[in-house]
Chains A and B, each alone.
Chain A
Amino acid sequence: MSDKTRLQFDYRLKGLMKLFTLFAVLTLFIIFIGVVFKSYPILKTNSIFHFLFSSEWFPQKEKFGLFPFIVSTLWVTAIAMVLAVPFCILASIYLSEYADKKIIGWITPLIDILAGIPSVIFGIWGIIVVVPFVRDYLAPFFGKVSTGYSLITGGIVLSVMIVPVMVNILLEVFATVSKGLKEASLSLGATKWQTIKNVLLRKAAPGIVSAIALSLSRAFGETLAVLMVVGNVTKVPHSMLDPGQPLPALIANNYGEMMSIDLYDSALLLASLVLFIIVLIFNIASRLILRKMERNLG
């Protein structure tokens, strides 16, 4: 090949790569614009706050209050976070500070496997294990009758699903805390646990917050696993043993049949918009924090 063709090839490849990179970045903006564009017709009829806080969901009468679904989403997410956060933090501290290499060599693949399991499998697990548990043990324990398909079932399934996300980020975050700092604390006579409490956790605090925020946004958008176990009832839930229907499940359950009703399509895309914006804010904020921590290391 002559130098000229080589240089031409380089030039063309660079152009192509630039184009693809632009495409990858623009996807985000296209999705955003698309969702806004599609939910615009319904936002013209009323303010966004009306839809967020109205609990009247009667698509046939063109009433699209998202409140029951937002409450369900908040319940499921909150339950998942309360269950998952303490265990994940404790397990991550153990893995990064105490466990020897052999144990880590066993556990990290397991967590990676957990990360790769599709949500439908978590849903099946929920139906096989968690639903009977809630029906036969948890609900009677609180003196209630439940089919087992409830918000807490969804929350339990979600809590397991976000474990790999949170543990992986936490391990990375703990790795950014400098060894010297920990050694200084140890050499001053602090015990290992005191060092963890006063140095590691304090230094890693912003990272822990972002790990939680990222898992929270994952929990927020999770569709199928939750849909399979949460009961899918359009009502404002009052306890965690009630069935509910979170936003993603709402979209998934109804998207096929929206064709015949005006604005239905737009209402469901409005639900997507709400999801998208929340996920966007949590993601950008936590990624920026994490990046800053990484940079401080380097």
Chain B
Amino acid sequence: MQGKFIEEKIFKVLMVFSTLLIIIALGTILGSIVVKGLPALSWEMLSQTPKGGFYLGKSGGILNAIAGSFYIAIGSTFFALFVSIPVALYINIYRKKFSKYSNFVRLCLDVLWGVPSIVYGALGFSLMLIIGLKTSLLAGILIVTILIIPVMIRAMDEVMKTVPKGLVEASLALGATKAETALKVVVKQTLPGIVTAILISFGRAIGDAASVMYTTGFTDNVPESIMNQAATLPLAILNLVSSPIKEVQAKAYASALVLTIIILALSIASRMLTKKYTKNKL
């Protein structure tokens, strides 16, 4: 056999090996979390707030963190939606899709996406001090909103880019204004993509810890007002796993499993939507 074929064989083996390795890595991540987390997971974990001595291994659950995380993720996704849809429509419908300005906006958003969330958190905390906002659910929601806006806009933008020019022009030719075209034609056409964008941003909002670390604080109670401090799942996991006590660490693994399940559910939901969307397009 010639050398070039042997070389190809070797590299093909390496390539398959690399792909398998990536799958195995993902497998051990999910596997280890399930194996370690499932035994400690109970209804009590999900339905109760931490009781006295929870951090020493006594009874209680992480309802405070689950509630806090959902409040933050829902609140921030809601606010981000109000900014993201207009921006995505603006750079795709009002401006030419690939005009200099639209591309500049995209570049800025991509860069924002890359800014580490700890920078958002640190700077957000400084800003809060300046305007006199205390660590609270509201502060957390605002910071996370700013954090997920670039993610959401870019996800919507990717879908809106694919809307055929003819569709927009047909609507305009019938006498619709750009606003009507944007809201009634483009939004309708890209609705599944918009929902996917919302789910992706929701996942990012619920999983991010560095940005809420100092802006939301931590509490053992379910927040009752937007000005209360709130616990979040990632921070609860971090607190629990830092404990030297085995039972408490087990609770961290169980909480990690809860967070993983939420993320997986979001991921599967958005995938199903995308699938449906692609089917409609054909």
Enumerate chain A interface residues (CB-CB to B < 8 A). 6-7, 9-10, 13-14, 16-18, 20-21, 23-25, 27-28, 31, 34-35, 38, 86-88, 90-91, 93-95, 98-99, 107, 109-114, 116-125, 127-129, 160, 163, 167, 191-194, 214, 217-218, 220-224, 228, 248, 251-252, 255-256, 265, 268-269, 272, 275-276, 279-280, 282-284, 287-288, 291
Residues in A with CB closer than 8 Å to B238 are 120, 123, 224, 228
Q: How far, in whole Å, are A268 and B108 apart by their CA atoms in the complex?
A: 25
Kindly state whether residue B174 has any CB partner on chain A within 8 Å.
Answer: no
Q: How far, in whole Å, are A54 and B224 apart by their CA atoms in the complex?
A: 47
Query: B7: nearest residue on chain A (CB-CB)?
Result: A193
Interface contact A124-B256, CB-CB below 8 Å: yes
Interface contact A121-B29, CB-CB below 8 Å: yes
Residues in B with CB closer than 8 Å to A214 are 114
Residues in B with CB closer than 8 Å to A20 are 83, 86-87, 90
Given A28-B111, A223-B210, does the pair A275, B119 have CB atoms closer than 8 Å? yes
Contact count A vs B, C-beta below 8 Å = 257
Q: How far, in whole Å, are A86 and B120 apart by their CA atoms in the complex?
A: 32
Choose the segment among B45-53, B56-64, B99-107, B163-171 that binds chain A (4+ C-beta atoms closer than 8 Å): B99-107
Interface contact B123-A31, CB-CB below 8 Å: yes
Interface contact A28-B94, CB-CB below 8 Å: no
Residues in A with CB closer than 8 Å to B237 are 120, 124
Range, interface on chain B: 35 or more
Interface contact A192-B8, CB-CB below 8 Å: yes
Given A20-B86, A228-B241, does the pair A94, B16 have CB atoms closer than 8 Å? yes
Q: How far, in whole Å, are A151 and B87 apart by their CA atoms in the complex?
A: 41
Interface contact A112-B209, CB-CB below 8 Å: no
Cβ distance B16 to chain A, nearest Cβ, rounded Å: 6
Q: How far, in whole Å, are A107 and B179 apart by their CA atoms in the complex?
A: 40
Interface contact A124-B12, CB-CB below 8 Å: no
Residues in A with CB closer than 8 Å to B150 are 24
Interface contact B122-A251, CB-CB below 8 Å: yes
Interface contact A223-B118, CB-CB below 8 Å: yes
Cβ distance A9 to chain B, nearest Cβ, rounded Å: 6
Query: B236: nearest residue on chain A (CB-CB)?
Result: A120
Residues in A with CB closer than 8 Å to B267 are 109, 112-113, 116
Interface contact B210-A224, CB-CB below 8 Å: yes
Residues in A with CB closer than 8 Å to B116 are 220-223, 248, 275-276, 279
Interface contact A255-B25, CB-CB below 8 Å: no
The majority secondary structure among interface residues of chain B is: helix
Enumerate chain B interface residues (CB-CB to A < 8 A). 4-5, 7-8, 11-12, 14-19, 21-23, 25-26, 28-29, 32-33, 36, 83, 86-87, 89-91, 94, 103-105, 107-112, 114-123, 125-127, 146, 149-150, 153, 177-180, 182, 200, 203-204, 206-210, 213-214, 233-234, 237-238, 241, 252-253, 256, 259-260, 263-264, 266-267, 271
Interface contact A124-B114, CB-CB below 8 Å: no
Interface contact A117-B29, CB-CB below 8 Å: yes
Query: A128: nearest residue on chain B (CB-CB)?
Result: B32
Interface contact A251-B114, CB-CB below 8 Å: no
Residues in B with CB closer than 8 Å to A6 are 177, 179-180
Interface contact B177-A9, CB-CB below 8 Å: yes
Query: B101: nearest residue on chain A (CB-CB)?
Result: A21
Q: How far, in whole Å, are A10 and B93 apart by their CA atoms in the complex?
A: 12
Interface contact A124-B146, CB-CB below 8 Å: no
Interface contact B209-A13, CB-CB below 8 Å: no
Q: How far, in whole Å, are A192 and B143 apart by their CA atoms in the complex?
A: 49
Query: B4: nearest residue on chain A (CB-CB)?
Result: A191
Given A31-B123, A124-B253, A255-B122, does the pair A218, B28 have CB atoms closer than 8 Å? no
Interface contact A118-B259, CB-CB below 8 Å: yes
Given A116-B200, A124-B252, A272-B123, does the pair A193, B12 have CB atoms closer than 8 Å? yes
Query: A103: nearest residue on chain B (CB-CB)?
Result: B19
Interface contact B83-A23, CB-CB below 8 Å: yes
Cβ distance A266 to chain B, nearest Cβ, rounded Å: 10
Given A10-B178, A27-B112, does the pair A110, B29 have CB atoms closer than 8 Å? no
Q: How far, in whole Å, are A24 and B83 apart by their CA atoms in the complex?
A: 8
Cβ distance B124 to chain A, nearest Cβ, rounded Å: 9
Residues in A with CB closer than 8 Å to B21 are 87, 91
Q: How far, in whole Å, are A35 and B116 apart by their CA atoms in the complex?
A: 13
Interface centre among B108, B116, B256, B271 (most CB of A within 10 A): B116
Residues in A with CB closer than 8 Å to B16 are 94
Residues in B with CB closer than 8 Å to A255 are 121-122, 125, 213-214
